[in-house]
Structure 1
């Protein structure tokens, strides 16, 4: 089948198609070879992605909008589920089907970037990239660290992961950090998988043990909460620059604020790294919010506000694009907190208590492999 382009100029055809949702574009690839080639071209994918990022509407027939992706567990079977909420209307979108080759009972989302999810099982393997909008997924090749030619079994290592986008070279990268003991001494190894290369390679690691499963990506840099393994064992933030592929240390705003029972949560607000400090004890929660600025090559922290006490909240999950805070209640219900009005609103997601995990997601045509 061929497409007639005599009625519409090619530029106008591209303009119209770039305004459609991913679901429609996937169907339209079957119309003719010309549209298939156009929709799968890197130039069109980038154009459609930029429109989606700049679009703030929740109209599911145009682009797909921005979503809050919530991973939670069913109360009856314990299986992991993925729910999507429109960040504009807070309405629940139809459930997302997890790829059939994945065990739903051991499913975790490492990160979300430009419509691509990086996921892994509880054991850390397999790891795969997944585009829920196009329903395409790709399992990554296995790689185990070795020392002197001897492979280190996965069971002997504790892994931390991070996923992000390097805009300078237009590449998606996954970082894998391993911590293990060898001859009673702590050891640290790290490796990077770049989509453009399709393989793993080792990079120098720092002596920092990541103890939080979550990773936050901001402007091409990945961040984890970690301990500096050395003389001080100080809590800090481990960073990784996706462009230079170099690890670094970012120190907390004030070590005295980490008191007994206090926890920290990294998030993003206004394209800056944000640190949320809260106490896990008690039925009510008070939160301090700090924002980091990178002035004169020094990481500077500014305390934005303190909120609370909020009754019945278990933990914060992250900042919204408009300054709202998403939290999990003690009963497993997702809520949103408006700091300006000091109001808590229940959202239509309820899972097994203490099982919620949130990421921001936007539909795209980005491929899971090259």
Structure 2
């Protein structure tokens, strides 16, 4: 995924993470610096106070001792080094609260201590002030945010609720722990390029029930998910005097005669003649014109001689149409299941001036293709 695309898609996350890292780095920097000074006050400064107190007690010069302690403490404080992993502070210094700077680039840490020689007195209070390195602070935060966004962008998306349910149903069809891992990887790969596309689970389940051995690797399962996500189409491949019928990539096994009748109905649907409706001939008057259309198709695409002879001698009967529609339905159900009848089956109606029923394929003509090779 190009970095420009990542930035465009995740700029809000980038801004939010930048603010987050600004706050985290500031808090962490202040904490480590304050912790270092606290250690110094509680250890080095207390040790110096003890030694100077003992020396002063021997001399009996309390005021001078206090000044010595203050001067030595300031000298020691100026030598304090602090640990700041990201170095957002350029320098830190101690000063009396009244002398602390109030500029915007200075941060006063929440640590105040006394330079009085006696711990019971609170004179000579000292604050710690640190100068922020604004440019370094901002650059470090933006860099951390950008690296985080980059890392997140290249991670596989976690499966959403629908995909988790899909994974569970796929494993119910038959699957081991290896299958679970492969299906999960296939779904993740599919979602990487098709984040919002739906999957026809009826199609997917039916294919796996009949041809599971063809889909073992992650890549093969990814291909199957892509097939199941495409709009369902009805296609006819005409070659070498043969008719092959497919729903997407699934071949519908059936004999030649009903396949040719299905092709004939599809041609009617695609030409928009009467919106694809075909009138069943009266039971006592077979249709010669419709029979001629079917005879042409059968002669071109390997129709049975007996079926051709029947049409030539007797014309097209309503009973023959009914029988072949039922054979088409049975082949569809056997291959894909009952749920596909709603889209690929037939619908019927009756005209006001005719007692005979009319039939056509339910599928839209835009979803039908006929290819000849």
The two structures have a TM-score, normalised by structure 2, of 0.19
Q: Which has the higher contact order (CA 8 A, sep 6+)?
A: 1
The two structures have a TM-score, normalised by structure 1, of 0.19
Q: Which structure carries more strand by proportion?
A: 1
Q: Which structure carries more helix by proportion?
A: 2
- Higher Cα radius of gyration: 2
